[in-house]
Structure formats: structure tokens, C-alpha cells
Amino acid sequence: MSAAALELQDVSCTFVSKDDPAQRYTAVREVTLTVGAGEFVSVVGPTGCGKSTLLNVGAGLLAPSTGTVHVFGQPLEGINTRAGYMFQSESLMPWRTALGNVMAGLEFRGVADARAQADDWLRRVGLGGFGDRYPHQLSGGMRKRTSLAQTLALDPDIILMDEPFSALDIQTRQLMENEVLDLWAGDERRAAPSSSGAPAGGAAAQAAGGKGRKAVLFITHDLDEAIAMSDRVVVLSAGPASHPIGEFRVDLARPRDVAEVRTTPRFIELHKAIWDVLREEVLKGYQQQLAA
């Protein structure tokens, strides 16, 4: 059996106040989470439950207080160079054009044809005619497409996404969600049958040799988004010391349209099952915010 693309084992993260070392806050405690090669996994939970903390641990931006992190079976030491990170906040350099932003990482790696590759990725995300525009000249959806091209141009084996579409309007958001699924699945998605027996996620990637599939760890507050896009949904408890309290296999056939799949009986059934677990934790998190 091949190693998971990303594995967090018994990970805890405790932060110490720089002003008062006696003040400590444990964001997540003893979290075990795996993402298989070619698998799309979403993590949902109340605000402030440590979802982004786990993503930063997986990226190597934050060392866990306890526990281990493995990338394709190897211990993670320092930055996870096999991962691409798409942030929630704006990550484009305002002094560079869209093409220049996508080229940046390729240039840093010394890629000889950085311009040609960046131009190709802009076309793949539907921005072929906008390479000379600066971020302030692009709509919110266009900036997100540029960020997506910027991430995928480096051909990472793992894609980490921290609520990347939360600031977009619903129509643009659904377009971007489908765009991500299309690029994630590559040619498989367009060629796959639409029958209910079609393999999903990691199983489809394994059956096809993994071509075109990346491992994705996706953080979102939107349960609909998590179900519509994922192979598995992991539910975290309210913090502090947040930990997984539920894991659900999303057995909806691929390819999927994120708007159409929401109306299917199985989607509604999964939504109810996950919300039954998540509801109480969301209320706990809300009460904590009111108390603070």
C-alpha cells in the first residue's frame, strides 16, 4: 500500500503568550488526519477551531508542539516543498501583472520557459487575454483565477487551500469550484462516465494511475462546498483543543457540477448527517465568541 500524500499523526499545537509564558492556548490536540494521493479532503468546523492551523502544519509553516507530519511517507522537515498553498487573503503582488505573478515562482525555480508556462496556465484558467493586467484591474474572480494558476503552475503534488473562495459572490464561487474540480481531475473528469458507478476521488486516480490528480486539503466554513467538491469531509470540534469528531465519505459520482449535485437525494442525506454532528459545535463556537 502506497504512503499517504499527507499524514498528520497525533498533532497538537499549543501557543505561548510572549508577554506571559504562563498563558497558553492549545488550538488543536492529538489530531490525526490523512490525505491520500489523488484524494480531495475538506475540513469543516466552527470559526476559530484550528482549521488553518492544521493547514499551516501541513505546509511546514508551523511546527507542531507534539505529533508528527509525513509527506509521501517521509518526515516533514521545514517547508513542504511538494505542496502549493492557495491562501484565503489576496496573495498577488500588486506591482506585477497577472502574467508576472504566475511567472514569479517559476522564475524563482529557474525554469527556462517560465513565461510560456505561465501564459499557458493563464489560458487554462480562462485568462488568456488578461496577462498584461495588474491585480487592481482584475475582478475578484479573475484575481482568484490568477492565484490558482500561480499555485498550479509549480505542479505541486499536494494543494493546500484555505477558504480560497469565501469572499466571492455565489455565482463566481460556483464557477471557481467547478474550475478547481476540472483542473484537479485533468482529462479524467471530461472523459469520465456520469453513471453512479463512476469511481470517486482517490479511487479514480488510482485506477487511472493518478494522472492529472493532486492531493487536496481544502479548508472551508461552507458545508455545501465541502460536500460538493470532496471525497471525504472531516469535522472538527469547537476549540480550544479542537479535534476530529466525524469523518464522512462522499460517495457522489464524478464528474460533478457543484450547483447541480446539491439537489440530489444523496447530497441532501449527507448534508443532514454531517450537520447533525457539526451543529452543536457551531453553537459552542458562537457562544465562545459572544463570551469573548
**What residue spans define the domains of the chain?**
6-82+159-291, 92-155
Cβ neighbours for 104, distance < 8 A, ≥ 6 positions apart? 93, 96, 150
Least confident of 33-37, 246-250, 286-290: 286-290
- Alpha carbon distances (Å) from 175 to 77, 83, 164, 253, 257: 36, 24, 13, 19, 9
The superfamily CATH assigns to domain 6-82+159-291 is: P-loop containing nucleotide triphosphate hydrolases (3.40.50.300)
How high is the pLDDT of residue 212?
55
Predicted local confidence at residue 1, as pLDDT? 58
C-alpha distances out from residue 158 to 24, 73, 108, 113, 177, Å: 32, 13, 19, 23, 17
Residue 199 has pLDDT above 60, yes or no: no
User: Per-residue pLDDT tens for 39-58?
Assistant: 999 999 998 888 999 999 99
